[in-house]
Amino acid sequence: MVKNITHALDDRIEEMDRTYQKVLGNLAANFACATLKVKSRYFHRIGAAGRGTLRLYENIPRFPDHHIFSSGKCYPVIIRHSNCLSSDDDARLDPRGAAIRILTDEAESNTSLLDLTLKTGKAFHARTIGDFATWLVCGAAAQEEMVKHAPHVREAMWDSLRKADSYAELHYYSNICRLFRFKDGNEMYVKFKLRPFDEMINEDSGKVEPTGILPPETGAMPRDENDTRPLLFLNDDFKRRVNSPQNLRYVLQLQLRSVPTDEYEREAALDCTKPWDEKEFPYIEVGEITIDQVLTNEESASLEFNPFLRCHEVDVIRATSCSQSASLDHGRSVVYSICQHLRNNKPLPEAWKNFLDHSDVKVDLTGCPMAKVIEKKDTQRVTLARPWYHNLWMITEAGFVGSRAVAMPGVIVQKEGSLSALTLAMKEEIVN
Q: What is the pLDDT of residues 379-432, one digit of tens each?
A: 444 434 444 444 444 434 443 343 333 333 333 333 333 444 333 434 333 333
- The answer to the question of residue 126 being in a domain is yes
- The answer to the question of residue 327 being in a domain is no
Report the pLDDT value the prediction gives residue 394, as an integer from 0 to 100: 42
Report the pLDDT value the prediction gives residue 219, as an integer from 0 to 100: 59
**Which stretch of 132-146, 271-285, 293-307 has the lowest confidence by average pLDDT?**
293-307
Task: Find the length of the chain.
Answer: 432
The more confidently predicted of residues 221 and 207 is 207
pLDDT tier at 297, thresholds 50, 70, 90? confident
Report the pLDDT value the prediction gives residue 42, as an integer from 0 to 100: 55
- The answer to the question of residue 141 being in a domain is yes
- Interval 173-181 mean pLDDT: 95
At 191, give phi and psi (nearest 5°): -115, 150
- The answer to the question of residue 99 being in a domain is yes
- Cβ(67)–Cβ(105) under 8 Å? no
Report the pLDDT value the prediction gives residue 45, as an integer from 0 to 100: 66
Q: Which helix (H) or strand (E) holds 403?
A: helix 399-406
Report the pLDDT value the prediction gives residue 261, as an integer from 0 to 100: 93
- Interval 222-243 mean pLDDT: 91
- The answer to the question of residue 230 being in a domain is yes
- Interval 248-253 mean pLDDT: 98
Domain around 188: 42-305
Burial tier of 307 (Cβ tally within 10 Å: 0-12, 13-18, 19+): buried
The more confidently predicted of residues 378 and 279 is 279
- The answer to the question of residue 382 being in a domain is no
Report the pLDDT value the prediction gives residue 412, as an integer from 0 to 100: 35
- The answer to the question of residue 229 being in a domain is yes
- How many angstroms separate the most distant Cα atoms in the chain? 73
Q: What is the pLDDT of residues 81-100, one digit of tens each?
A: 999 877 788 888 889 999 99
Burial 139-177 (b: 16+ CB within 10 A, else e): eeebbbebbeebeebbbbbbbbbbebbbbbbbbbbbbbb
Residues 6+ apart with CB under 8 A from 403: none
Integer Cα distance of 174 and 75 in angstroms? 20
- Cβ(339)–Cβ(32) under 8 Å? yes
Strands 248-258 and 283-294: antiparallel
**Which stretch of 192-201, 301-310, 400-409 has the lowest confidence by average pLDDT?**
400-409
pLDDT tier at 32, thresholds 50, 70, 90? confident
- Cβ(98)–Cβ(119) under 8 Å? yes
**CB-CB neighbours of 125 under 10 Å:** 25
- The answer to the question of residue 9 being in a domain is no
Rounded to the nearest 10 degrees, how much is the dihedral formed by the CA atoms of 47, 221, 237, 302? 10
Which CATH number goes with the domain that contains 102?
2.40.180.10
Q: What is the pLDDT of residues 120-176, one digit of tens each?
A: 999 999 999 999 988 888 888 899 999 988 999 999 999 999 999 999 999 999 999
- Cβ(54)–Cβ(116) under 8 Å? no
- Cβ(291)–Cβ(48) under 8 Å? no
The more confidently predicted of residues 309 and 327 is 327
Report the pLDDT value the prediction gives residue 8, as an integer from 0 to 100: 58
pLDDT tier at 12, thresholds 50, 70, 90? confident
Q: Quick check: pTM over 0.75?
A: yes
Q: Which helix (H) or strand (E) holds 294?
A: strand 283-294
Integer Cα distance of 330 and 12 in angstroms? 7
pLDDT tier at 5, thresholds 50, 70, 90? very low
Number of domains making up the chain: 1
